[in-house]
Amino acid sequence: MAMPSFLEEDTTLIDVNRDDPSSSSEGGGSDGDDKSILAHEIESKKPPTYSRFTQQELPACKPIITPKLVIVSFTLIGFLFIPIGKTALSASNNVVEIAKRYDMECIPEIYSNNILHYIQSVGTNKTCTVKFTVPKHMKGPVFIYYQLTNFYQNYRKMSYGVPLRSRIKDTKYMGSRSDRQLTSKAYEGAELEKCEPLEKVGEEPIVPCGLVAWSMFNDTYSFSVKDKALIVNKTNIAWESDKETRFGSDVYPKNFQTGDVIGGAKLNSSIPLSEQEDLMVWMRTATLRNFRKLYGRIDVDLEANDEIAVEIQNNYNSYGYGGEKLLVLSTTSAFGGQNKFLGVAYLTVGGFCFFFAIIFAIIYHFKRREIGDTAYLSWNRNPVGYYMK
């Protein structure tokens, strides 16, 4: 067969270049260079080092999902999840919880039309007393929580007062803090730019700086039953990791809440941050807008029908952003506080698994299809149509 003309031309060009002495350098070193280039190309084209891992040849279990396996799996999950769900739901129902909203109840009638003036007034007495009855026996320890609603700790921009608001600009609440500053006195001035607009007083840093610490909850509660005071234990309410690593034992509050606008609680400047557990609890910001934070605990039992009187210092301004304040007393179980979602979720999943197991069993019994049956292949089911394509 005759070679195409364009291949003949290419072959001629290759032969000419190969035999033409002018294509070599004066020193005759092109042969060595060509050999080194060729060796490099061969080296670069070598296959990678063989490995069973890279070649995906490691032994693996690849179970065949048969109808029997699916039915058994769904049944086992149902048998496992339903008892767990019943146990979790029963434990949640045994938790005794009392939640009392007090933000509006603690507003004097003369300030009902001017609540912000009342809460922002420094000289106004903000003490109020609320009472509630224990519905069932509450075995100690009884945990005390404060609950805030409509407070976006993970995002919200704060706006307490014109001077502060004018400096906030696009500062987000959650990012206005310096975690490094809290760990050691050596980092007192570290990352202050993150704390805007509450980073300094003059040229001195604020410790702890930022909006998160500045807006710390500052309502206080005193409990009594039958005119006998109940001691509130406020130790060990923060995470151990926070006390040991996140808050330094040599870091003390400095220039905190000394501005014209007071956001929340003040801190004792003689106590290191590693011992100020209320601050640690507050600084662990909540994910959702409605949240509870641990205030303390009562280490004695509360009897059914006991009337508890709570003296509240109603200091925290939840009125400025339309939030509510609640006081919560609760016992706990092995699954935590009162939370029916966990038990209902397990029961729902277990019930669905039993339902699907029954459906698959019925289908498998009345409309069985054997695994590996070649009669179901398309060319066997319709051989004429398959070969005519």
pLDDT tens, position by position, 183-216: 999 998 888 988 888 899 988 999 999 999 999 9
Task: Give pLDDT tens digits for 61-74.
Answer: 888 888 899 999 99
What is the sign of the dihedral through the CA atoms of 334, 336, 340 and 346? negative
The answer, yes or no, to whether the previous bond of 253 is cis (omega within 30 of 0) is: no
- Do 80 and 125 reside in the same domain of the chain? no
In the block, tokens 């397990």 appear at 346
Cα 349–chain centre separation: 24
pLDDT above 70 (res 7)? no
Percent composition of the chain: helix, strand, coil (DSSP 3-state, to 5) = 40, 15, 45
- Do 353 and 303 reside in the same domain of the chain? no
- Do 318 and 361 reside in the same domain of the chain? no
7 located within any domain: no
- Which segments within the chain are labelled E, that is strand? 97-101, 127-133, 142-148, 200-201, 204-205, 220-225, 228-230, 291-298, 307-313, 325-330
- Do 310 and 262 reside in the same domain of the chain? yes
The most confident of the ranges 58-62, 115-119, 231-235 is: 231-235
Which pLDDT band, with edges at 50, 70 and 90, does 128 fall under?
very high
- Do 271 and 289 reside in the same domain of the chain? yes
The C-alpha torsion from 373 through 379 and 382 to 387, rounded to 10°, is -170
In the block, tokens 């029954």 appear at 358
pLDDT above 60 (res 167)? no
- Do 90 and 156 reside in the same domain of the chain? no
6 located within any domain: no
- Do 344 and 261 reside in the same domain of the chain? no
50 located within any domain: no
Task: Give pLDDT tens digits for 352-377.
Answer: 999 999 999 999 888 887 777 777 77
- Do 90 and 239 reside in the same domain of the chain? no
Instruction: Print the domain residue range for 288.
Output: 96-331
Task: Give pLDDT tens digits for 51-102.
Answer: 888 888 888 888 888 889 999 999 999 999 999 999 999 999 999 999 999 9
Give the count of beta carbons closer than 10 Å to the beta carbon of residue 309.
Answer: 16
- Do 252 and 347 reside in the same domain of the chain? no
46 located within any domain: no
- Do 143 and 279 reside in the same domain of the chain? yes
**Number of folded domains in the chain?**
2
Q: Letter for the amino acid at 63?
A: P
- Do 320 and 343 reside in the same domain of the chain? no
362 located within any domain: yes
